[in-house]
């Protein structure tokens, strides 16, 4: 298959490109490099376009004619959405709509949307934008016949490709940076916030299974195992500083996530457990 990945220079996008190329697919990518990094690129990517999904050139899709699109480009920082809701909307709603329109108009065979467990926390702009993306995918399927599927990732980890650019970087990248720079880690609130952690390598497998299926709708991509931030911090084996609880934080993002539909219908089940070995890139 010829595949286009938006956000191809990002954490999940670059790993997905590696995985799909390894499986024999031809991959092209787009990324604006705001948080992604060109050093993440697989050298076997057929073509890279430095483009922003908010105003991406539709001629790229017309020219490349991908069979599948994996739409991963987004603002994925919850607290940045709280700080700048307009930025979040433009990237996650307008950007997703742009990609869906191009997929529809160019008869793309399959559109895989990267959603998030954040939809279980209805108190941030990030929640609104990811839920809107899921709904746009549903409507484009029912109204226009575009084959779509949305994957609600739990918290993703697994390598140091997680961006440290900009503000409000994600949890494990933040802990890694803090320990490297200060010898300590900091955690917001009490540290008893629980998360479901899925390896990026399992996420890649889930994406390919989703693309190959003919199923529509929304699937949780998770492990079903919840781990507190205090438990995560223990792996870092250094002093912990507790700071003020962040606005928009949620005690248990994954309480409503269910791994069974993905297992039963997509044939996906996680393989990599959260432990010292799988966390080793950050420690």
Residues 223-258 as b/e (b if ≥16 CB within 10 A, e otherwise) read bebbbbbeebbebbeeebeeeeeeebbbebbbeebe
Chain-wide mean pLDDT for the chain? 95
Percent of the chain beyond pLDDT 90? 88
Crossing angle of helices 11-22 and 200-212, in 10° steps, is 60
Tell me what pLDDT residue 104 has: 98
Tell me what pLDDT residue 187 has: 93
For residue 60, what are its two tokens? 């790229």
Residue 247: pLDDT over 90? no
Q: What is the pLDDT averaged over residues 252-274? A: 94
Catalytic residue check, 126: yes
Is residue 102 within 8 A of residue 143, CB to CB? The reply is no
Which residue ranges form the domains of the chain, and what is each CATH number?
2-158+197-225+256-272 (3.40.50.720)
Given the residues 126, 127, 270, 282, the one annotated as active site: 126
Contacts of 66 (CB under 8 A, 6+ apart): 2, 3, 4, 28, 108
Tell me what pLDDT residue 266 has: 98
Distance CA 75, CA 125 (A): 11
**pLDDT band for position 166 (50/70/90)?**
confident
Model's pTM, two decimal places?
0.96
């Amino acid at each position: 298959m010829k595949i286009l990945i938006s956000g191809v220079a990002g954490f999940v996008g670059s790993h997905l490109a590696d995985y799909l190329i390894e499986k024999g697919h031809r991959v092209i990518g787009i990324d604006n490099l705001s948080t992604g990094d060109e050093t993440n690129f697989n050298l076997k990517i057929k073509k890279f376009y430095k483009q922003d999904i908010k105003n991406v050139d539709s001629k790229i899709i017309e020219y490349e004619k991908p069979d599948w699109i994996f739409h991963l480009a987004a603002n994925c920082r919850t607290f940045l959405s709280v700080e700048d809701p307009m930025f979040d909307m433009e990237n996650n709603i307008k950007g997703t709509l742009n990609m869906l329109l191009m997929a529809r108009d160019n008869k793309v065979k399959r559109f895989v949307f990267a959603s998030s467990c954040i939809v279980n926390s209805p108190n941030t702009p990030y929640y609104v934008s990811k839920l809107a993306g899921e709904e746009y995918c549903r409507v484009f399927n029912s109204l226009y016949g575009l084959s779509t599927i949305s994957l609600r990732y739990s918290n993703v980890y697994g390598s140091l490709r997680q961006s440290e650019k900009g503000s409000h970087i994600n949890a494990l990248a933040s802990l890694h940076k803090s320990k490297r720079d200060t010898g300590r880690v900091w955690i917001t609130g009490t540290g008893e916030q629980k998360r479901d952690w899925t390896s990026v390598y399992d996420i890649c497998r889930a994406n390919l299974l989703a693309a190959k299926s003919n199923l529509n709708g929304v699937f949780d991509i998770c492990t079903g195992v919840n781990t507190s931030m205090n438990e995560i911090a223990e792996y870092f084996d250094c002093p912990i500083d507790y700071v003020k609880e962040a606005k928009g934080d949620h005690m248990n993002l994954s309480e409503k996530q269910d791994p069974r539909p993905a297992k039963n219908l997509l044939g996906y089940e996680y393989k990599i457990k959260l432990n010292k070995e799988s966390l080793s890139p950050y420690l």
